[in-house]
């Protein structure tokens, strides 16, 4: 029975303390077998060879003592798993910390080993357990500087930086972290205004809490480094949640109203600018038109004037006759000889006007229509003739 | 030989018994007092293996780590403005003079904690009584904790204990006061909400009014410019007309009148009643005769 014994290998693999009872039993069994075999070999002479027996017996004791010693020495082997530290105490006094792997210490009771888990981030939760929804109101409701109450949850992550300190300096070190966390965060919240904690100051609060907690824990020489304090949730308490939500909504309403106003402005001003541009363009157009037409008319007049100056009388007559021709060819006319007539001349002017209208001939009264239709003949000559006739009839 | 062996075994057993009764180990986390017939003869503050006289001497162990006294329930304290606050605190302490500790509290941790709690409690009442809620919660929190630590430490030294830290954990308002705080917070939020809403509509109105003003200004300005441009055009046209007509106003009147007659008498509905004796018809009446 030694180090090479498969028994050892198995025990090591389990990494627990060696099962001494089992080993003892196995050892006894083997010993018995050994003695029996020896005894069996000299079975016949056991009675007569009394002198032989003690020698064999003492040899057996020596073997037994040697085996026991080996066993004892071997019990000093232990395994430190990855992520653990083995803390070796010699007669209760700290000697060394061992890294992962197969290690040996002086066997019990000279030295003992305690394993401490150093790897991995540990967490404590303040104000909730496991899930942010399962709140612990006793922990989570805190008083702020402006005497408001807020509901806050946060998680603290920490690692062991010094396993010896962690093991030796504090009773219930995990609890100490929880206590330090709670007192630190409350101190910081107590010194901050509510709005600061709820809105803009979240990161700052967490940073300050980290610093303060580390300070407290260092005072306890607890061997822990705070890696992170995260604020999970910071809200006004449920009792006033509705009012807070409404205030947030009010902020949104304000933005909405502003935007609506802006939308109106964005609609009205460009339109006005458009209208203004139109006015300006129109006026510019008017200006150009007036000037151009004046220039045109002036030029026309000047040219005519030049010719007029050369022969005023003829030009004057020509212009006059041109005009009369154009006018008379386009209008209805009645010739009345006033010198020969008197004041009794009756002309149904309204009828004549109606008749001369392009679409009113059918509505003329039958009696008047007969005369007027003839009188308002488009042909200038016919009309004058009729007019004369009418006049004669009147004068008769 | 058999006798020899049993003697050997006997000696071994005796040795083991002697060792277990005369050796003792003080752990890294422990302090130990060695008693001899009830009298303290030695104090072991560092870990290791020590001897004692079997039977006559015995050993008691104490925890050398930092211990915690945490109040189970928050207690009420009154501040200077006669308000109640609920305070929860914890004290971190450690045995430094183990002999003194044993003498004073018979090594009973509970007894020591009660003693500490009393000290802390009374000094806390003193400090809170002189301060307002605000001071207690935020302003002088550190200061209170430091004062209490000093006071508690001074007192604890008498029982062989060092007070490492005294910290206020929770300083809360009692339930009934909390309710009124909630009401106040609600009213405050309502105020904020109303303010936000009314400033919102005010701003909106301002923006609209400003837009309307800008529109008026833009249009008026445009109208002014338009009229100016038109006036300019009219003026220039007048000047051009005047310059053109100035040389012969009489002919202009004649020429322009003819134009006007043409323009105004061009519809069939325009009725002319003419006298055939007028100059225009002179050839109509008397074709042979030349103009007089």
Which residue in the block uniquely carries the two structure tokens 């200004």? B217
Residue A234: helix, strand or coil by DSSP?
A: strand
Residue B274: helix, strand or coil by DSSP?
A: strand
Residue A18: helix, strand or coil by DSSP?
A: coil
Does A367 score more than 50 pLDDT? no
Kindly determine whether residue A286 and residue B230, on different chains, have CB atoms separated by under 8 Å: yes
Residues 95-124 of A with CB under 8 A from B: 109
Residue-wise pLDDT for A158-187, tens only, equals: 999 888 889 889 988 889 999 999 999 999
A39 vs A59: CA distance, rounded Å = 13
Q: Who's near A112: CB < 8 A, 6+ residues apart?
A: A88, A89, A105
Contact B127, B147 (CB under 8 A): yes
Does A13 score more than 70 pLDDT? no
Q: Which residues does chain A have within 8 Å of residue B229's beta carbon, measured at their own beta carbons?
A: 280, 283-284, 286-287
Q: Which residues does chain A have within 8 Å of residue B275's beta carbon, measured at their own beta carbons?
A: 335-339
Measuring CA to CA, which residue among A48, A38, A50, A35 is closest to residue B1?
A50
Kindly determine whether residue B272 and residue A323, on different chains, have CB atoms separated by under 8 Å: no
Q: Which residues does chain B have within 8 Å of residue A256's beta carbon, measured at their own beta carbons?
A: 200
Q: Does A169 touch chain B (CB under 8 A)?
A: yes
Kindly determine whether residue A253 and residue B212, on different chains, have CB atoms separated by under 8 Å: no
How far is A241 from chain B, CA to nearest CA, in Å?
9
Q: How many helices (H) and strands (E) does chain A have?
A: 13, 12
Instruction: Report the pLDDT averaged over residues A120-147.
Output: 85
Tokens standing for B282? 């002179």
Q: Does A289 touch chain B (CB under 8 A)?
A: yes
Query: What is the pLDDT at residue A16?
Result: 47
Q: Is A222 exposed, middle or buried (0-12, 13-18, 19+ CB in 10 A)?
A: buried
Q: Who's near A11: CB < 8 A, 6+ residues apart?
A: A18, A19
Which of B186, B240, B280 is the closest to A240 by Cβ? B186
Contact A68, A31 (CB under 8 A): no
Which of A149, A168, A249 is the closest to B65 by Cβ? A168
A75 vs A79: CA distance, rounded Å = 11
Kindly determine whether residue A291 and residue B237, on different chains, have CB atoms separated by under 8 Å: yes
First to last CA, chain B: 198
Residue-wise pLDDT for A45-64, tens only, equals: 444 444 445 555 667 778 88
Kindly determine whether residue A279 and residue B225, on different chains, have CB atoms separated by under 8 Å: yes
Which residue in the block uniquely carries the two structure tokens 């395994």? A79
The Cα-based distances of B15 to B8, B58, B142, B191 in angstroms read 11, 19, 59, 87
Residues 310-349 of A with CB under 8 A from B: 312, 316, 319-320, 322-324, 326-328, 330-339, 347, 349
Kindly determine whether residue B266 and residue A337, on different chains, have CB atoms separated by under 8 Å: no
Kindly determine whether residue A243 and residue B190, on different chains, have CB atoms separated by under 8 Å: yes
Residue-wise pLDDT for B13-45, tens only, equals: 888 888 888 888 899 888 999 999 888 888 888
B113 vs B159: CA distance, rounded Å = 11
Contact A357, A348 (CB under 8 A): no
Kindly determine whether residue A287 and residue B230, on different chains, have CB atoms separated by under 8 Å: yes
- B50 bridge partner residues: B24
Residue-wise pLDDT for A229-261, tens only, equals: 988 888 888 889 999 899 989 999 999 999 999
Kindly determine whether residue B197 and residue A250, on different chains, have CB atoms separated by under 8 Å: yes
Counting one residue from A and one from B, how many pairs have CB atoms under 8 Å apart? Answer: 334
Among all residues of chain A, which has the CA nearest to that of B233? A287
Which residue in the block uniquely carries the two structure tokens 């709670």? A182
Q: Which residues does chain A have within 8 Å of residue B148's beta carbon, measured at their own beta carbons?
A: none
Tokens standing for A261? 């106003």
Name the band, by pLDDT with cuts 50, 70 and 90, for residue A344. low
Residue A37 parent element (H or E): helix A20-41
Cis peptide preceding A334, ω within 30 of 0: no
How far is B120 from chain A, CA to nearest CA, in Å?
17
Tokens standing for B186? 């609600």
How far is B37 from chain A, CA to nearest CA, in Å?
25
Tokens standing for A197? 């904690």
Q: Which residues does chain A have within 8 Å of residue B168's beta carbon, measured at their own beta carbons?
A: 183, 186-187
Kindly determine whether residue A289 and residue B49, on different chains, have CB atoms separated by under 8 Å: no
Name the band, by pLDDT with cuts 50, 70 and 90, for residue A325. confident
Q: Is A333 exposed, middle or buried (0-12, 13-18, 19+ CB in 10 A)?
A: middle
Residue-wise pLDDT for B183-239, tens only, equals: 999 999 999 999 999 999 999 999 999 999 999 999 999 999 999 999 999 999 999
Kindly determine whether residue B192 and residue A250, on different chains, have CB atoms separated by under 8 Å: yes
Contact A118, A173 (CB under 8 A): no
Q: Which residues does chain B have within 8 Å of residue A62's beta carbon, measured at their own beta carbons?
A: none
Q: Is A25 exposed, middle or buried (0-12, 13-18, 19+ CB in 10 A)?
A: exposed
Query: What is the pLDDT at residue B2?
Result: 67
- A151 bridge partner residues: A141, A235
Q: Is A181 exposed, middle or buried (0-12, 13-18, 19+ CB in 10 A)?
A: buried
Kindly determine whether residue A182 and residue B92, on different chains, have CB atoms separated by under 8 Å: no
Q: Does A370 touch chain B (CB under 8 A)?
A: no
Which of B90, B210, B241 is the closest to A294 by Cβ? B241
Name the band, by pLDDT with cuts 50, 70 and 90, for residue B106. confident
Query: What is the pLDDT at residue A372?
Result: 39
Q: Does A377 touch chain B (CB under 8 A)?
A: no
């Amino acid at each position: 029975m030694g180090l090479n014994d498969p028994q050892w290998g198995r025990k090591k693999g389990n990494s627990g303390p060696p099962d001494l009872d089992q080993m003892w039993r196995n050892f006894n069994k083997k010993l018995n077998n050994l003695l029996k075999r020896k005894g069996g070999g000299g079975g016949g002479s056991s009675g007569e060879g009394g002198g032989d027996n003690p020698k064999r017996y003492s040899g057996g004791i020596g073997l037994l003592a040697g085996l026991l010693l080996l066993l004892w020495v071997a019990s000093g082997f232990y395994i430190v798993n990855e992520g653990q530290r083995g803390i070796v105490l010699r007669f209760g006094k700290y000697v060394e910390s061992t890294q992962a792997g197969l290690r040996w210490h002086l066997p019990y009771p000279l030295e003992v080993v305690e394993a401490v888990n150093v790897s991995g981030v540990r967490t404590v939760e303040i104000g909730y357990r496991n899930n942010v929804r399962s709140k612990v109101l006793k922990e989570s409701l805190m008083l702020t500087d402006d005497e408001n109450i807020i509901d806050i949850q946060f998680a603290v992550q920490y690692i062991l930086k010094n396993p010896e300190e962690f093991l030796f300096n504090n009773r219930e070190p995990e609890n100490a972290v929880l206590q330090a966390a709670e007192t630190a965060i409350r101190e910081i919240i107590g010194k901050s205004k509510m709005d600061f904690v709820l809105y803009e100051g979240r990161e700052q609060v967490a940073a300050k809490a980290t610093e303060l907690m580390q300070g407290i824990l260092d005072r306890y020489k607890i061997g822990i480094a705070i890696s992170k304090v995260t604020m999970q949730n910071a809200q006004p308490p449920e009792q006033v949640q509705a009012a807070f939500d409404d205030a947030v909504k009010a902020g949104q309403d304000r933005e909405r109203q502003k935007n609506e106003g802006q939308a109106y402005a964005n609609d009205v001003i460009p339109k006005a600018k458009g209208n203004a541009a139109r006015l300006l363009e129109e006026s510019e157009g008017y200006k150009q038109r007036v000037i151009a037409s004046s220039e045109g008319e002036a030029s026309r007049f000047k040219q005519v004037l030049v010719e007029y100056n050369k022969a005023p009388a003829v030009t004057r007559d020509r212009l006059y006759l041109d005009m009369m021709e154009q006018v008379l060819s386009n209008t209805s006319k009645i010739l009345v000889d006033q010198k020969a007539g008197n004041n009794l001349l009756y002309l149904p002017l309204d009828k004549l006007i109606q008749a001369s209208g392009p679409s009113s001939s059918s509505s003329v009264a039958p009696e008047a229509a007969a005369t007027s239709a003839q009188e308002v003949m488009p042909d200038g000559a016919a009309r004058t003739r009729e007019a004369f006739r009418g006049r004669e009839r009147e004068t008769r | 030989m058999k006798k020899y062996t049993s003697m050997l075994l006997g000696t071994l057993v005796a040795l083991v018994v002697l060792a277990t009764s005369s050796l003792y180990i003080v752990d890294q986390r422990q302090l130990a007092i060695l008693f001899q017939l009830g009298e303290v003869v030695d104090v072991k503050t560092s870990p290791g293996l020590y001897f004692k006289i079997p039977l006559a001497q015995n050993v008691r162990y104490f925890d050398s780590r930092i211990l915690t006294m945490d109040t189970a329930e928050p207690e009420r304290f009154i501040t200077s403005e006669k308000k109640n606050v609920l305070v929860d605190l914890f004290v971190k302490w450690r045995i430094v003079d183990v002999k003194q500790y044993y003498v004073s509290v018979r090594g009973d941790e509970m007894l020591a904690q009660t003693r500490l709690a009393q000290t802390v409690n009374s000094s806390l009442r003193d400090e809170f009584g002189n301060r307002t809620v605000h001071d207690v919660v935020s302003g002088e929190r550190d200061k209170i904790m430091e004062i209490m630590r000093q006071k508690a430490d001074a007192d604890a030294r008498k029982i062989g204990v060092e007070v490492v830290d005294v910290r206020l954990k929770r300083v809360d308002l009692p339930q009934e006061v909390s309710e009124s705080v909630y009401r106040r917070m609600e009213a405050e939020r309502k105020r904020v909400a109303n303010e936000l809403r009314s400033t919102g509509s005010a701003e909106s109105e301002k923006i609209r009014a400003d837009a309307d003003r800008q529109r008026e200004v833009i249009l008026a300005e445009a109208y002014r410019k338009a009229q100016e441009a038109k006036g300019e055009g009219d003026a220039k046209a007048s000047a051009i007309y005047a310059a053109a007509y100035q040389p012969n106003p009489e002919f202009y009147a004649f020429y322009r009148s003819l134009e006007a007659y043409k323009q105004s008498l061009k519809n069939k509905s325009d009725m002319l009643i003419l006298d055939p004796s007028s100059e225009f018809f002179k050839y109509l009446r008397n074709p042979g005769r030349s103009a007089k």
